[in-house]
Structure 1
Amino acid sequence: MWVSTKAQYGLRALIEIGRRGGDAVPLKDVSERQGISQHYLEQIASNLRRAGFIRSVRGAHGGYRLARPAAAINAYEVVTAMEGSIAPVSCVEEDHVCSSQSVCGTVDLWHRVDAALRDVLGGTTLADLIEQSERQEHARLVQLEPSFAASRL
């Protein structure tokens, strides 16, 4: 399975929007903070909106906010909304009929890989990712603090 930038950026955009609580977040802010092209981010936001993860807010202080609580959105939902199937091989997809299944020695392996992907992504909420992002930023800021203080001496 190869996760495209569309799914990766979709998750990053949701984290950025979710970090702002209930405030509307302009895509320009998300673009600048995440280093994602605003044009590409507009396409991603359109997909996220259609999938019901975000809603747009019009007006001077407009932008996007989460349409559901961060704890009610999991990574599996987001990745599959952006990617479609995340099956590592086609033979584990629900509608696939494999003519080699009776002689294939790897089908069980691929089913386990698929189940592991679903478990990890499905067991990770947007709230988990937001919390992790905030911890990482806090740690980064703490590391910068001593060098900032030394430069002021």
Structure 2
Amino acid sequence: MRVSARTDYALRVLVSLAADASRPLTCEGIAEQQQIPYRFLKSVVRDLRLAGLVRSQRGCEGGYWIGREAAAISIAEVVRAVDGELFTVNGEVPEPTGYPAPAVRVETLWRGLHAHLTDIFAGVSIADLAGGEPGARAAALFTDALAQA
């Protein structure tokens, strides 16, 4: 599975905003802190704003705030905001189309992977990534990742 730079950067932006929710953060500040190209970051933040995941504040003390409670923003929602569907086969969400034999199980594989990825990504929130006490799904993923490192 490939994770795009857009998704990676979007998650890093939202985690930064969630971790420092006391004031708006500028794109310049986030780009510098997270080592993200500024121009690319602006387009990612624009998509996040259009999806309601961040909100902007104009003026000399302006910048960006997280758009909702971090616990209410799932990774699945972030991916969809910047990249579209979580998992596609030939650009489409896997649907039961009736692959001919002997490839019937290939279709079943794609649909199963789509369901599992959607479940995992929907079960991890920005709050889980921003610190604090992660939810059960995120805690299990973090434990598995540390065990494999």
8 Å Cα contact 1:27/1:38 also seen in 2: yes
SS at match of 1:131: coil
SS at match of 2:24: coil
1:91-127, CA deviations, whole angstroms, 9 ceiling, x for partnerless residues? 9726x57362554222222222111211111000010
2:122 equivalent to 1:122:
yes
- Give unpaired runs (5+ residues) of structure 2: 133-149
SS at match of 1:23: coil
> In the alignment, which residue of structure 1 is the partner of 2:136?
none
Q: Distance in 2 between matches of 1:80 and 1:53?
A: 11
Q: TM-score, normalised by structure 1?
A: 0.77
2:26 equivalent to 1:26:
yes
SS at match of 1:31: helix
How far did residue 61 of structure 1 move?
1.4
Q: TM-score, normalised by structure 2?
A: 0.79
Calculate the aligned-residue CA RMSD, in Å: 2.1
Q: Distance in 1 between matches of 2:21 and 2:93?
A: 37
How far did residue 85 of structure 1 move?
1.6
Instruction: Select the structure that is richer in helix.
Output: 1
8 Å Cα contact 1:22/1:66 also seen in 2: no
The total of aligned residue pairs comes to 131
User: Given the superposition, is the C-alpha separation of residues 114 and 101 from structure 1 closer, same or farther in structure 2, using an over 3 Å criterion?
Assistant: farther
> In the alignment, which residue of structure 1 is the partner of 2:14?
14
> In the alignment, which residue of structure 2 is the partner of 1:45?
45
- Give unpaired runs (5+ residues) of structure 1: 133-153
> In the alignment, which residue of structure 1 is the partner of 2:145?
none
Q: Distance in 2 between matches of 1:101 and 1:14?
A: 43
How far did residue 23 of structure 1 move?
1.2
Percent of residue pairs identical: 32
Q: Over alpha carbons, which structure has the higher Rg?
A: 1
> In the alignment, which residue of structure 2 is the partner of 1:98?
97
User: Given the superposition, is the C-alpha separation of residues 11 and 91 from structure 1 closer, same or farther in structure 2, using an over 3 Å criterion?
Assistant: closer
